[in-house]
A and B are shown apart, each in its own frame.
Chain A
Amino acid sequence: MVAVYRISAIAVMVEVAIQSMSVVFGIAGQGKWIQEGGVLDKAVIEAREFVFPEVIGYLIHGLNGTILIPLTALILLVSSFFTKVPGAVKWASLVLLAVAVQITLGMSASGLPVLGALHGLNALLLLGAAFYAARLVRRSRTADQGDRLASRA
């Protein structure tokens, strides 16, 4: 279970990286398209078409952020109860909380854009929490091994 915990924590970190990459990919593609004469308005957005190929970036951001990341964070929390590592449950809960806050901020940002800025900031907090969770089990595993070696001696 420690392995599941550690892999899920690392997976959250990787997914957060994909999130920041995909959304900027989308924005950059949109900028290029507008430079070339494209016009974006609500009707075009609601057409839900690939008017520029980098729309895939927004799509990945949306699917990853609302499905994959919450799922991974849930696996992290469930596995945390079986790791018997002090602090594992706490850090997994913080990761899940950051994910919940992140989705809420992302969904509300079009109504109140300043929430978008907090969405960017909270991504770093989420990354930090996942990083700490991953390190926590590695640290405790090396500590375990040290204890075992000590008892053998």
Chain B
Amino acid sequence: MGMGYAEHGGHGGQVAGGRSVTSLVADPRRPADVSVTLAAGKERFRLPSGRAFDGFTLNGGSPGPVIRATLGQLVEVRLVNGSVPDGITLHWHGVDVPNAADGVAGVTQDAVRIGEEHVYRFIADQAGTFWYHSHQMSHEQVRGGLLGALVVTPPEQPAETVDVVALVHLYDGVRTVNGNEGDVRVTVPPGKRARVRIVNTDNGPMSAWVGGASYRLVAVDGTDLNRPDPVRDTGVLVTAGGRADVEVTMPEDGSPVRVHLGGTTAVVLGSKSYDAPVVRPPATTLDLLSYGMRASLGFDPNRPDRRFDYDIGRRPGFLRGRPGLWWTVNGSIFPDVPMFVVNEGDVVRMRISNHSGDVHPMHLHGHHAVVLSRNGIPAAGSPWWVDSLNVADGESYEIAFVADNPGIWMDHCHNLPHAAEGLVAHLMYEGVTTPFMIGGTEGNEPE
């Protein structure tokens, strides 16, 4: 099935007693606090913008409904396949779910065929902005709209803050916010705060910037930043699959604020007027390496149990028999890629470097990793926790995480066609096995 060769990162490999990914679940006796049923279809439908689109729907539309939960609640989602011939799954992007609920066809489950259903159960144990999408034929199904937002709020939500979801997606190359084109208006009274939860569901990084007020970037990839300062005339780069929560305090004089999302679309916050002027993209981009204040990481990344290299390149060769110029991981073309082997509790350090000529939004399932350095320059701002990291050509990041969520986890490029072209590796806990297969009779194709 091609999970690659075992890479132990400086440890000997010893196989403990086998555990199946299907046993790695949330407490099955605990009743659900949030129950949602999502019925998926493949059809021609109208977006909220009115534009007709051939793609995928959840409960009749795309994007799918925003799922909201309070921190600590158990979320249970029943996914029903109404009419998607290739089969479907749901992956909870950025949520460190138990492995059985990760939704990767061929790794943690079989693709859900027409007429079948699958139940996902996980505890929303981190407050922040997340999203969900299919991880079966994902380069087609995500593009086609089989996705939605997931928002987890703390129990004591500040009442004076208006919560705005801004899920950005390109349908046939047309940029939308929650399925709408152009300006999306949201009422926020003068002096009040708005938290705009930007989700980039596309295959390349996008920029967001704010006109009419200063803003604070309060969270990245579902994790709050520590004491972020207000900034002005500065853009935020949201990588593919990544999220950025922008907090704006509305001007007292009632003037509107425009949160630009990639140029053609915007969230316009206002009360009396929504006539916020268009502003040019700022020349500077917020550098998260030095934004906010330092704080404890909760573990010591300087004494790692494992060290891995995830080195991305590109060279001519053959991928599944096809000649071409293909991505490489540590010098080799898929399936000759590393499988990073860890034990539960290990502190893991990984160096992700890219000299492939293109940017790669690297996404690790089931874990959040903290950025330690970029191109040798150590992180000096707020702890910068990511699940989707924008690694530009020529960049090298040092990240670290605690292996605290046993299972078999994908660690891949979230430019989904790149993943389909073999830019995929796995993080594998010793002794965890899977009964599922990529390919095979079930036709599982996670990328």
Query: Using a CB–CB distance below 8 Å, which chain A residues touch chain B?
Result: 37-39, 41-51, 107-108, 110-111
B393 at interface (Cβ–Cβ under 8 A)? yes
Chain B residues with CB under 8 Å of A107's CB are 325, 357
Question: What is the bound-complex CA distance between A110 and B240, given in angstroms?
Answer: 20
Question: What is the bound-complex CA distance between A41 and B204, given in angstroms?
Answer: 8
Are A108 and B205 also in contact (CB < 8 A) when A41-B262, A48-B417, A50-B173 are? no
Question: What is the bound-complex CA distance between A50 and B172, given in angstroms?
Answer: 8
Question: What is the bound-complex CA distance between A45 and B325, given in angstroms?
Answer: 19
Contact of A44 among B175, B359, B415 (CB under 8 A): B175
Majority-rule SS of B interface residues: loop
Structural contact, B206 and A51, CB atoms closer than 8 A: no
Structural contact, B204 and A51, CB atoms closer than 8 A: no
Q: How far in angstroms is the closest Cβ of chain A from B349?
A: 28
B170 at interface (Cβ–Cβ under 8 A)? yes
Question: What is the bound-complex CA distance between A9 and B20, given in angstroms?
Answer: 61
Structural contact, A110 and B357, CB atoms closer than 8 A: yes
Chain A residues with CB under 8 Å of B204's CB are 41-47
> Taking each of A47, A50, A108, A110, which has the highest tally of chain B beta carbons within 10 Å of its own beta carbon?
A47
Majority-rule SS of A interface residues: loop
Structural contact, B203 and A46, CB atoms closer than 8 A: yes
Structural contact, A42 and B170, CB atoms closer than 8 A: no
Given contacts A46-B202, A46-B203, 11 further A-B contacts (CB under 8 A): A39-B264, A41-B205, A42-B205, A43-B205, A43-B206, A46-B415, A47-B204, A48-B417, A51-B173, A51-B174, A111-B394
Question: What is the bound-complex CA distance between A111 and B355, given in angstroms?
Answer: 10
Contact of B202 among A38, A47, A108, A110 (CB under 8 A): A47
Question: What is the bound-complex CA distance between A51 and B172, given in angstroms?
Answer: 7
Structural contact, B170 and A44, CB atoms closer than 8 A: yes
Structural contact, B357 and A108, CB atoms closer than 8 A: yes
| Interface residue ranges of B54-101 to A (CB < 8 Å) | none
Question: What is the bound-complex CA distance between A41 and B262, given in angstroms?
Answer: 7
Q: How far in angstroms is the closest Cβ of chain A from B45?
A: 18
Q: How far in angstroms is the closest Cβ of chain A from B258?
A: 14
